[in-house]
Amino acid sequence: MEIVFLMLLVLSLLLFPNGICKSLATGPPVVNIGSILQFDSTTGGVAAVAIHTALEDINSDPTVLNGTTLKVQMKDTNCFDGFLGMVQALQFMETDVIALIGPQCSTISHMISYVANELQVPLMSFASDATLSSIQFPFFVRTGPSDLYQMAAVAEVVDYNHWKIVTAIYIDNVYGRNGIAALDDALTLKRCKISYKVGFPSNAKRSDLINLLVSVSYMEPRVIVLHTGAEPGLKLFSVANQLNMMGNGYVWIATDWLSAYLDANSSVPAETISGLQGVLTLRPHIPNSKMKSNLVSKWGTQSKKYNYSDLRVNTYGFYVYDSVWAVARALDAFFDDGGRISFSNDLHDGIGGTLHLEAMSIFDMGSKLLEKIRKVNFSGISGQVQFDAVGNLIHPAYDIINVIGNGMRTIGFWSNYSGLLSTVSPEALYSKPPNISLADQHLYDVIWPGETAQRPRGWVFPSNAKQLKIGVPNRFSFKEIVTVDNATGSMKGYCIDVFTQALALLPYPVSYKFVPFGNGTENPNYDKLVQMIESNEFDAAIGDIAITMRRTVTFDFTQPFIETGLVILAPVKEHITSSWAFLQPFSLEMWCVTGLFFLIVGVVIWVLEHRINDDFRGSVCQQIITIFSFSFSTLFFAHRENTMSALGRGVLIIWLFVVLIIVSSYTASLTSILTVQQLDTSIKGIDDLKNSNDPIGFQVGSFAQDYMVKELNISRSRLRALGSPQEYAEALKIGPKEGGVMAIVDERPYVELFLSTYCKIAVAGTDFTSRGWGFAFPRDSPLQVDLSTAILSLSENGELQRIHSKWLNTGECTTDNSEFVDSNQLRLESFLGLFLICGVACVLALLLYFGIMLCKYLRHEPRKSLRRFISFVHGKEPPKNMERRSMSLPGSSTPTTPMGSFSSLDMERPARPVRNGSVIDMES
């Protein structure tokens, strides 16, 4: 029997080595874990019940730990008293435990993480402080979501509602400060910012909170992010209600402390919940599952059992429950891999004191257990329990919650998987590719403080705010744009009307005063004007301020209220019509090519018709005259000679079509030249300015100077500053040789005003930049956004055009010379296609003709030479019926040679009849 047993044992080892090893790899009968909590807090009480419940479930599960009982030793600490909490935590570390659950406070977690590293005890913490990381603390394992993700979700809510500035109120400890720092980073990524942040101690008196909130009410933002604990947070909300800061216009966003409190407490006072109406809060997302339902159903019994009957389970309870299970599963893998529980006392007091460090023990195989914890992967109550490369739980997500009525309503979700807000639960998205389109963001409607569904603007002008100082350029020239009214001392002009009309559309009053910038004797420097916003000398700047790339780096501009661009002003002279004006419609090349084609077409038609058409025969002089008369008479479609050949008719039809186009174009161009006033200038566009060395003018204070130097590489020495329309006209009149300029570069609105008075100047070319004028504000100013919307409204209702017509109405000269009229002369390039078609038709017709003639010549003439071929082609072709009779005479056995072909008889020259006393050569 012993032999059979041994054989079976060996066979089992060979067939099932893992199973046998597992059954043999039993751990100690009891393993201790520790827990550091604040028992009298909501989170501490929920965590204590969750730990005990998890231990009961683990120890009653035969598939876990293989008979080893998991026990917990708990320590009560004070989270708010940092020194006392650290002492209590250090005392607890004298206990030999293989893992720690908690602590819940970030302050204690920071301190205890150093100790856990030295003792090599994994610290399973659900503290959310973003600065706690496994990089600094290798034995720190975060079993809940980090504030990095929570603040990213808050920033997404702020950006989704188009708010740009917020106020941050936080508990003044490690948890609060680090959380707001994470919020600041997240908002910066969204081009939002915290304009005012204020902390307060956990034991702050009510009077301190009143002073704090009064200072907040004086600030511009009305979006307030509150990052505290439950007790100080609720106290602050109570004070906010007392100060009427929970009504219309305010937005309160509380971090997950509020949802944790409301979820865990079954009896929240009615006055507390009524004071939270409209508040937004976040809750770590826990997917619905059967395990979750089972824990919730037995929580009441468990909470009574451990003296926390007034607490319900919240998200922290789910995370703590899964943390204990993660330790148990890691211990299973630890024991299976040969791990054992042992401690050693290798700590020494190296600072010359009596700290009794020998009381603390190092977990010898703590690194191995930590490795197993990092590798756990199971479905827990909180979702998939699995850690990423940096030690955070995968797929962090949050519920976005609106406090309304007697409870909370989920209005959407935020998931780090996509980084966007959605009404679809995060677990439904994990099986799909991440959707990062901002257009797909959506939340359900929110009831805001003050019981309104209208989204608050998020900022106001504070009641104690001083008037906005708005810088306005005090112009010397083009005063229609903006200037100081000498009679009243107020500002007036096109830009002032646009600004005041836009302000009238805002749903709130704006207190402001205009501060003239400049002495009024010359145009001010606009770069210096906008820089005074950065130095806080002005709160904004309005006027004819061009929106340039360099300025937008530092300042925010409203929607452009007028489109503008740089154009070139150049002197013009009237083009005088001469006696030879009829030659101007065509360029010289066009005249030459057209005349040449008249001759070519005449010669081609003569060649094609000469053999068969008597109209194209006669003496040499007559034939030359015929060629010229025929070709040029086609210009008027008055040619008398008829074409008999198919090739000749084809060429003539194509040529007549070309003539029709040429004649029509000539007529239209000549009409324009003789009836429309022409302007002439030596400048056609910006390239002419760049290639010249003559001086160029620009308006004082304009960005055109820097643009020409930096963008067009024009030497600064060529530029001349001009301060008024009169200087413009004078400088252009005298020209560069007499100390003036060849042209002026300025913006379109100024040019239109200038041309309404001065008629001997015109715009050369087109706009070579595309810009606009806007009002300048500091970065992220909410007033800039609202004014942009108001300017768009002015544009849509026609008010902007009315203001433009009032101030920038141009005079009579604009219609005559506002644009440079190019010459109407027609060039050869426009007709190359027609001439090409006609030329190809002539060549093809000649090739076909000579091919036919060659075939006839070869068929009828046995003796061949070039001279005889030329004579054959030159000769007249007889009518076809005569040709047939001559080829076969009746009664003759020998066919005669056809007329037009050559034989021995043809060598005799026929008689030359006399007409009017002169001899006519019949062969000609």
Give the rounded distance of the alpha carbon of 735 from its chain centre: 46
In whole angstroms, give the CA distance from residue 449 to residue 278: 4
H or E segment and range at residue 515: strand 512-517
At 577 the pLDDT is 58
**What pLDDT score does 911 carry?**
40
Burial of 839 (0-12, 13-18, 19+ CB in 10 A): middle
Give the C-alpha distances (Å, rounded to integers) separating 564 from 539, 546, 560: 25, 8, 9
What's residue 835's pLDDT?
Answer: 84
What is the per-residue pLDDT for 147?
Answer: 94
Confidence of residue 646 (pLDDT cuts 50, 70, 90): confident
CA distance 193 to 158: 10
Contact 128, 147 (CB under 8 A): yes
The answer to whether 400 touches 414, Cβ cutoff 8 Å, is: yes
Question: In 277-406, which residue ranges form alpha helices assigned H by DSSP?
Answer: 290-305, 315-336, 366-374
Higher pLDDT pick, 623 / 822 = 623
Contact 137, 114 (CB under 8 A): yes
Q: What is the mean pLDDT of the chain?
A: 83
DSSP characters over 603-624? HHHHHHHTTT-GGG-S-HHHHH
Average pLDDT over residues 673-684: 61
Query: Reading across the β-sheet that carries 719-722, which strands appear in turn?
Result: 719-722, 696-699, 743-747, 566-571, 761-764
Give me the pLDDT at residue 675, please: 64
Closest CA to 230 of 130, 80, 90: 80
144, 116, 146, 119: which is closest to 132 by C-alpha?
Answer: 146
pLDDT of amino acid 139: 93
3-class DSSP assignment, residue 362: strand
Residues 618 and 613: their CA atoms lie apart, in Å, by 11
Count the Cβ atoms, other than its own, within 10 Å of residue 410.
15
CB atoms within 10 A of CB 3: 7
Residue 550: name the closest of 534, 533, 524, 527 by CA: 527
C-alpha–C-alpha distance, residues 544 and 793, integer Å: 20
Binned at pLDDT 50, 70 and 90, residue 811 comes out as low
- Residue 538's identity, in one-letter code, is F
Strand partners, 563: 772
Q: What is the DSSP string of 66-129?
A: GGPEEEEEEEE--SSSHHHHHHHHHHHTTS--S-EE---SHHHHHHHHHHHHHHT--EEE----
Pull the structure tokens for residue 701.
């204070």
Q: Encoding tokens for residue 526? A: 């606009």
Q: Which of 524-538, 816-830, 886-900 has the highest mean pLDDT?
A: 524-538
The proportion of the chain whose per-residue pLDDT surpasses 90, expressed as a percent, equals 42
Q: Do domains 30-141+289-347+356-385 and 147-287+397-440 have the same CATH topology?
A: yes
User: Percent of the chain at pLDDT above 70?
Assistant: 85
**What mean pLDDT do residues 25-32 have?**
80
Task: Tell me the pairing of strands 512-517 and 123-125.
Answer: unpaired
Looking at the DSSP bridge assignments, the partners of residue 188 are none
Domain boundaries, the chain: 30-141+289-347+356-385, 147-287+397-440, 581-675
- pLDDT tens digit string along 813-851? 544 443 433 445 677 777 888 888 888 888 888 888 888
pLDDT tens-place string over residues 233-243: 999 999 999 99
Q: Could you tell me the end-to-end alpha-carbon distance of the chain, in angstroms, rounded to an integer? A: 142
Q: Please provide the DSSP assignment of 627-642 as one string.
A: HHHHHHHGGGT---PP
Q: What is the DSSP letter of 909?
A: P
At residue 325 the predicted structure's pLDDT band, cuts being 50, 70 and 90, is very high
- Mean pLDDT throughout 580-594? 80
Query: What's residue 463's pLDDT?
Result: 61
One-letter-per-residue 3-state SS of 371-382 = HHHHCCEEEECC
Angle at 874 between CA 868 and CA 875, to 5 degrees: 90
| Confidence class for position 509, pLDDT limits 50, 70, 90 | confident
Q: Taking 50 as the threshold, does the pLDDT of residue 1 lie above it?
A: no
Give long-range contacts, CB 8 A cutoff, 24+ apart: 405-413. Answer: 405/277, 406/273, 407/262, 408/259, 408/262, 408/281, 409/444, 410/444, 411/443, 411/444, 411/445, 411/446, 412/442, 412/443, 412/444, 413/285
What residue type is assigned to position 20 of the chain? I
- In DSSP notation, 466-494 reads PPEEEEEE--SS-TTTSEE-TTT--EESH
378 alpha-carbon distance from chain centroid: 41
Q: Given pLDDT bands bounded at 50, 70 and 90, which one contains residue 31?
A: very high
Distance, CA of 420 to CA of 808 (rounded, Å): 47
Query: What pLDDT was estimated at residue 615?
Result: 73
Give the pLDDT confidence score for residue 390 in this predicted structure: 83
Partner residues linked to 699 by β-bridges: 722
Whether the Cβ atoms of residue 698 and residue 675 lie closer than 8 Å to each other: no
- In CATH, what is the architecture of 30-141+289-347+356-385? 3-Layer(aba) Sandwich (3.40)
Q: Output the DSSP codes for 240-284.
A: HHHTT-SSTT-EEEE-HHHHHHHHHBS---HHHHHTTTT-EEEEE
- Cβ within 8 Å of residue 195, ≥6 positions away: 165, 166, 167, 219, 220, 221
In sequence order, the β-bridge partners of residue 586 are 826
Please tell me the distance from the alpha carbon of residue 334 to that of residue 368, in angstroms, as a whole number: 7
Q: What is the pLDDT of residues 157-212, one digit of tens each?
A: 999 998 989 999 999 999 999 999 999 999 999 989 999 999 999 889 999 999 99
Q: Are 742 and 684 in contact (CB under 8 A)?
A: no
**Given a cut of 60, is residue 676 above it in pLDDT?**
no
Q: For position 148, what pLDDT does the model report?
A: 94
Class of domain 147-287+397-440: alpha beta
Is the bond leading into 103 cis (omega within 30 degrees of zero)?
Answer: yes
As to burial, measured by CB atoms within 10 angstroms (0-12 exposed, 13-18 middle, 19+ buried), residue 795 is: middle
- Report residue 686 CA to chain centroid gap: 30
Question: Are the C-beta atoms of residues 80 and 203 closer than 8 Å to each other?
Answer: yes
Residues 794, 800: contact at Cβ < 8 Å? yes
Closest CA to 199 of 172, 175, 174, 176: 172
User: Which pLDDT belongs to residue 358?
Assistant: 64
573 exposure class (CB count in 10 Å sphere: 0-12, 13-18, 19+): exposed
pLDDT tens digits, 269-310:
989 999 999 999 999 999 999 999 999 999 999 999 998 988
Pairing of strands 69-76, 491-492: unpaired
**Cα separation of 764 and 818, whole Å?**
9
